[in-house]
Chains A and B, each alone.
Chain A
Amino acid sequence: MTYYLVIFAAGFAGSFHCLGMCGGFACALGRDPRGPAATVGRHLLYNAGRLTTYCFLGGVAGALGEVWCTSRGLEVPTLNGSLDTAQRVLAITAGLLMILMALQFFGLLQGFHRVAVGFGGSTLAVSLRSLLKSPSPAAPVAFGVFNGFLPCPLVYAFAVQAASTAGALPGILVMLSFGLGTFPAMLMMGGVGRMLAPSWRQRGVWLAGSFILLLGLITLGRGMLPFAAHVHAWAGGSPG
């Protein structure tokens, strides 16, 4: 459980980074003229759509990790079991990727950012714009779903983390924790509007970067450190 709580916390910290882009979307989604309850409903629907996409990505990433591990190790690994070589390689790769993304958050790797964000984002953004203005009650859900697919380094980082769990279900749970972590900030943005100063947003980005860096280092350690016991202790309450 500790593991998912850490992810939740990282998601919460990271969500201050989200405010830059996704927060803008949440603001644009705005208030429902039918009253505060409708507004809350609207934003819950939007966030539910987003969360679903995250979970889906987590599931896919986890399943891919699982496929990789089973094709090497011939044994479905679990988080609290001992690590075989395939899992170690996966953990090291994931850890390195996360550290790269963290560095990018600190503005150290500009090229990487472009690769991460330039991938099909423009078409999605175009389609999102036309959804924003739609009065349909179903529009926020669709908006959230597409928003979840928007290229975002934060989401990628956690998807990589999900892949390193080498299982569809833990993958889903990683992204679920992360997604739930982003809920408070995003709901707040939707309800209150833009209230954080740019300087605060910058601090949010650093906070998110630090958390990802930490997670990346831990994941890397999981792959590198020789003692399975260490991992076991760390990911203690994870599902089995």
Chain B
Amino acid sequence: MTARSDNLCSHCLLPIGLRAMQRKVNGEDCAFCCYGCCIAFQVKHGKSEEWEAAWLLIRLGVGAFLTMNIMLISLVLYAGTFSGADAWLLPWIHLLLWIFATPALVILGEPYLRETWAHAAQGRVTSSALVVLGVGAAYAYSIFATIEGSEQVYFDTATMVLMLFTIGSYIEAAGRAKAARDLEPLLAAESECATVVDEGTESRRPVRDIGAGMLVRVKPGERVPVDGVVIEGLSHTDEAVITGESRQVAKRVGSAVIAGSINLDGPLLIQSSGAGSATRWAQICRSVRDALSRRSPIQRIADRVVGVSVPFVLILGGLTVAYWAQLMPFDQALLVGLAVLVVACPCAVGLAAPLATSLGIGRLARCGCLVRDPGTLEALARTRLLAFDKTGTLTSGRSRIVGIESDGAGTDEVLARAAGLERHSEHGLAHAITMAAAARGLEPVVTSDVRAVPGRGILGNADGQPMAAGNSALMGDLGWSLAPALRERARSLEASGHSVIYVGWAGRVHAVLSLDDTPLPEAHSTIEKLRSLGLHVTLLTGDLAPAARRVAAMVGIEDMQACLSPEAKRAALDQYRQSYEVVAMVGDGLNDGPVLADADVGIAVGSATDLARETASLVLPPGGLWMLPWVIAVARMVRKTILTNLMWAFGYNLVALTLAVLGLLQPVLAAAVMASSSLLLVVNSLRLSRLPDPAPSALPGRLPSAEPDSVRRALGVPVMSGPAIERG
């Protein structure tokens, strides 16, 4: 718990706002966002030996005891028991009430008084001041009435209002903690402990102390604490928090495991491959915590309204008392004023946004989607245009051979020869050729004397013949002949945006390989879903127009602009912004950082590095393009919840305030009304936690979890970017 940031509540994990409280629980410093969380946390976590937790309960219990007795006695009074012959008893009963009320007031009102005092010292007036003032006035008047010997005292109102406020804030905090349960695993990465095996002895250590090479034992049901490789055991893991997809991935000796995934059914012994604090999971935790501690624009407005409303309500309460005092006895006018102060307490307004946003952030983070701050969700919900980058976003970003045009040679021979040459090259296209040969099970032809010609291609010798692979300029330099049909074909392929490699041997060009960056299989359905959400979709790319046009047609985007420099992309976005107001840019986060940063919402797909670079405000997991429609749906749902919350909070307060000003609402009833309004907001926001998971089943041609892991490793590609390979 100490590892947690100081600006999140220890109980409900909401950002600590204006009503912060500091307490020591179980010997640890805890900070709470409100009194309710302070109570709820101690009730739940306070160890029984811990004096403070028990002391809090004793105080609340005794406070409740006194309050209830005051109410019972008052009820007997109201029934007229002490009128007539027993009227001499009345002053004594009032005295008894006074004696009961004083400790009750001290016990229950102390936190509110302390809060008011602390804020007053900072020159602020907050809602607790309303409670303190209202209750204090009722109490002071009642003392006065007791001494005067008048008919009516209001000790019951004063204590009951305090009691209801305390109970209301407790219930509200309990509801919020329910919401926080979703966030708990996401914030646990750094405070979590792992079982480290060191020369046969096991010890529990914090994850952040784990370095590369250490052995870690993970029991079934536990979260894998570090990235690493399985060296003992057989199990399945659920990597939803990293990849966004809840499915079982088989793990055996040699399999790579990701920190943050849940070990499902067998114990595993894992060799850590890096520091515990450097995993993506740890990054996710940091990111979620940062996001939670920031405030969204709506929240800032709400807070400002709350800040302004308190002095306003004080004045309103004063005016109400002054008005009613002319029409009815002063004590009743005072009660009306008390009802006004109590009912106008703007607790619910302050709660409207943070609960919904943290639920939304948690919901997304559990599926591997990270949000930089609550404002991102609001902007995303209002987004009307989504601009996509092409390479690496809609496409796999890796070229593949899409066609082989040959002249007097078999396809396999061409590939085997080309692969023999290209396996000596580091070029991106070369990798595509060796992959294609390997996929067909071809043995690359042994090639010697290999040398690269920069900007041209690669040369070598095989079977005693000179070999070459490269562009037309290389073939021109060599003076090798090229059949006219093949030349024509190559030209048309180049015109349509393909990369073309000429392969020749023995003084002649034998084949033309066309390579292309293919769209991701889920791109088309994703674009379709986005459009059905009412979004305008466009493609902004730096690539040549023919290639861009082809990809756009394949994924179903009509509107596109090609040949854009990063500056031109920003200009295009600005232009779109004029007609669509809020625009989002989706990129891979590597090449288009400035554009992502410039959009209202920059969405990066699958770039773990980008988390640190702060250019994108929303990061999807690797291969997580398909989740975009779901993310937008969640963002919209969050925004809708915030708006209904605010409408409800304001509307409720206004109606109740009107009733109170008109003298139609009793103070005790007003306190009950207030407590229930906060509770309603909590219930309304909790609906967010029941949002459905994203549905990957809509994807065509997804591989089951049979072996992707071992395939990835065999290819020597980092596990993180795995899903992109699977699909590419």
Show the binding face of A for B, using Cβ within 8 Å: 48-49, 52-53, 55-56, 59, 123, 126-127, 129-134, 136, 138-139, 141-146, 168-169, 172
For B55, the chain A residues whose CB sits under 8 A away are: 134, 136
List A contacts of B72 (CB < 8 A).
52, 55-56, 59, 172
Which residues does chain A contribute within 8 Å of B49, judged by CB atoms? 133
Known contacts A53-B68, A123-B174, A145-B65: A131-B76 contact under CB 8 Å: no
Main secondary structure of the interface of B (DSSP, over half): helix
17 A–B contacts, CB within 8 A, in A order: A52-B65, A56-B68, A59-B72, A126-B43, A126-B44, A129-B48, A130-B53, A132-B48, A136-B54, A136-B55, A136-B58, A141-B62, A142-B58, A144-B65, A145-B64, A146-B57, A168-B75
Q: 0/1 per residue, B36-61, Cβ < 8 Å to A?
A: 00000001101111110111011111
CB distance from A4 to the nearest CB of B (A): 15
> Is the beta-carbon distance between B68 and A130 smaller than 8 angstroms?
no
The interface size of chain B toward A, counting residues with CB under 8 Å, comes to: 27
Chain A CB within 8 A of B69 CB: yes
CB distance from B618 to the nearest CB of A (A): 37
Per the bound structure, the CA–CA distance linking A53 and B69 in Å amounts to 9
Judge whether B71 is part of the interface by a CB distance below 8 angstroms. Answer: yes
Partner of B46, one of A52, A130, A138, A141: A130
Residues of B contacting A49 with CB < 8 Å? 61, 65
Q: Are A130 and B71 in contact (CB under 8 A)?
A: no
- If over half of A's interface residues share one DSSP class (helix, strand or loop), that class is named, otherwise mixed; here it is helix
Whether the Cβ atoms of A133 and B68 lie closer than 8 Å is no
CB neighbours (8 Å) of A146 from chain B are: 57, 61
Most buried by B among A56, A130, A131, A144: A130
> Which residues of B are found within 8 Å of A123, using beta-carbon distances?
43-44, 174
Q: Which 9 A-B pairs have the closest CB atoms?
A: A142-B61, A130-B48, A56-B68, A134-B54, A145-B61, A142-B58, A169-B79, A127-B43, A52-B68
CB contacts (< 8 Å) of B58 on chain A: these are 131, 134, 136, 138-139, 142
The CA of A182 and the CA of B64, in the complex, are separated in Å by: 21
Q: CA separation between A57 and B138, bound complex, in Å?
A: 25
Contact check, A143 vs B61: say whether CB atoms are below 8 A apart.
yes
Please give, as numbers and ranges, the residues of chain B lying within 8 Å of A127 by CB-CB distance: 43, 57
Contacts of A133 in B (CB 8 A): 48-49, 54
- In whole Å, how far is A169's beta carbon from the nearest beta carbon of chain B? 5
Q: Which residues of A contact B69 (CB under 8 A)?
A: 52
In the bound complex, what is the Cα–Cα distance between A127 and B53 (angstroms)?
9
Query: B64 near A169 (CB under 8 angstroms)?
Result: no
A53-B64, A123-B43, A136-B55 given; 5 more Cβ-contact pairs under 8 Å: A127-B43, A131-B58, A139-B58, A139-B61, A142-B58
Q: Smallest Cβ distance from A70 to chain B, in angstroms?
A: 15
User: Which residues of chain B come closer than 8 Å to A53, judged between CB atoms?
Assistant: 64, 68
- The docked-state distance in angstroms from the alpha carbon of A129 to that of B49 is 10
Across-interface contacts of B174 in A (CB, < 8 A): 123
A residues less than 8 Å from B53 (CB atoms): 130
Q: For residue B62, which residues in chain A have a CB less than 8 angstroms away from its CB?
A: 138, 141-142, 145
Contact partners of A144 in chain B: CB under 8 A: 61, 65
In the bound complex, residues from chain B placing their C-beta under 8 Å from that of A169 are 75-76, 79
Q: Enumerate B634-652 residues with CB–CB distance to A below 8 Å.
A: none
Assembled-state Cα–Cα distance A144/B60 (Å): 12
Q: A129 contacts which chain B residues (CB < 8 A)?
A: 48
> Contacts A49-B61, A145-B64, A145-B65 given: A139-B54 contact, CB under 8 Å?
yes
Measured CB to CB, the closest approach of chain B to A22, in angstroms, equals 16
Q: Taking each of A48, A49, A143, which has the highest tally of chain B beta carbons within 10 Å of its own beta carbon?
A: A49
| CA distance in complex: A123, B72 (Å) | 26
Say whether A130 contacts B61, CB under 8 Å: no
B66 smallest CB distance to A (angstroms): 9
CB of B69 to closest CB in A, whole Å? 6
